[in-house]
Amino acid sequence: NAGVTQTPKFQVLKTGQSMTLQCAQDMNHEYMSWYRQDPGMGLRLIHYSVGAGITDQGEVPNGYNVSRSTTEDFPLRLLSAAPSQTSVYFCASSPGLGNQPQHFGDGTRLSIL
């Protein structure tokens, strides 16, 4: 059982480039979410999804897009990368929205030059 898988693990981009961070889970979880982690700020919610076809904004959504065409996958797209988006990105899943523990991937470390 792989759990939550994130790819790539590392990425360097130039300002203005676009890219997609991939997230897949094999636990048939309905709820998936994306966080960014910056020093001293903990985890901040970017976008989340309560099921296939349904997404919503979190605390820091600007500059990011998501879609949820299947239960398993929840990609995060950076439309035009900016240095302020340099961060570590974590994808998480849980059986449902609510008081369910979340399972995290190992993160994608993204640097924008």
Partner 1 sequence: GQQLNQSPQSMFIQEGEDVSMNCTSSSIFNTWLWYKQDPGEGPVLLIALYKAGELTSNGRLTAQFGITRKDSFLNISASIPSDVGIYFCAGLKTSYDKVIFGPGTSLSVIP
Min dist CB 82 to partner 1, Å, is: 20
11 vs 27: CA distance, rounded Å: 26
CB 74 within 8 A of CB 104: no
Q: State the pairing for strand pair 10-13/87-94.
A: unpaired
Q: Does 62 bind partner 1 (CB under 8 A)?
A: no
Nearer to partner 1, 51 or 104 (CB): 104
Q: What is residue 75's three-state secondary structure?
A: coil
Given candidates 81, 105, 110, 112, which one binds partner 1 under the rule CB under 8 A?
105
Q: Does 27 bind partner 1 (CB under 8 A)?
A: no
CA-based diameter of the chain, in Å? 39
76 vs 57: CA distance, rounded Å: 12
Given candidates 41, 54, 79, 113, which one binds partner 1 under the rule CB under 8 A?
41
Give, as ranges, the residues between 63 and 102 that touch partner 1 (CB under 8 A). Answer: 90, 92, 97-99, 101-102
- In the complex, the residues that contact partner 1 under the rule CB under 8 A are 4, 33, 35, 40-45, 48, 58-59, 90, 92, 97-99, 101-107
